[in-house]
């Protein structure tokens, strides 16, 4: 059974909130799931999300694949850095990680208007 960690939409029209769910990838987006492992509110300023890190780590070890959006949320929370530190025995409190610099996108050159002629 292929398992994924993905978002399930909640909330009413135009006010979206999401739950991070562990589900079989053959199920519908808001269908049956195995476990709820967090929440995400994109409309808050700044965006809010909560994660059950121990359960996410468990499911990742079991072979679950995070969706692209969930992977981005985990990166924002520095989940993978914290997991590596925990494996090495670094205590979770008083973490001293260096934040990775954000990559800047290359600007595409502006299109030159075609010469009339």
Residue 11 lies in a domain: yes
Residue 80 lies in a domain: yes
User: How many structural domains is the chain composed of?
Assistant: 1
pLDDT of residue 96: 47
Q: Along the chain (117 residues), what's the average pLDDT of each consecutive run of 10 residues?
A: 87 90 83 87 86 88 90 87 78 52 71 74
Please tell me the pTM assigned to this model. 0.68
Residue 29 lies in a domain: yes
> φ, ψ for residue 83 (rounded to 5)?
-65, -40
pLDDT of residue 18: 92
Residue 19 lies in a domain: yes
Residue 107 lies in a domain: no
Residue 96 lies in a domain: no
Residue 39 lies in a domain: yes
Residue 15 lies in a domain: yes
**What domain range includes position 51?**
3-88
**β-strand 3-12 against 65-66: which pairing, if any?**
parallel
pLDDT of residue 101: 61
56: domain CATH number?
3.30.1320.10
Which of 27, 25, 30 has its CA nearest to residue 7? 30
8 A C-beta contact, residue 45 and residue 35: no
Please write the tens of the pLDDT for every residue from 84-106.
887 777 665 554 444 556 667 67
CA 79 to chain centre: 9
């Amino acid at each position: 059974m292929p398992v994924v960690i993905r978002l399930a939409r909640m909330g009413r029209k135009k006010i979206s909130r999401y739950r991070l769910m562990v589900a079989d990838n053959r199920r519908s987006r808001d269908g049956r799931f195995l476990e709820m492992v967090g929440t995400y509110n994109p409309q808050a300023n700044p965006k809010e999300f909560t994660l059950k890190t121990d359960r996410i780590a468990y499911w990742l070890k079991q072979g679950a694949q995070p969706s692209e959006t969930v992977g981005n949320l985990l990166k924002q929370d520095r989940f993978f850095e914290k997991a590596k530190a925990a494996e090495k025995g670094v205590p979770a409190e008083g973490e001293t990680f260096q934040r990775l610099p954000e990559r800047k996108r290359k600007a595409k050159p502006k299109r030159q208007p075609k010469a009339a002629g």
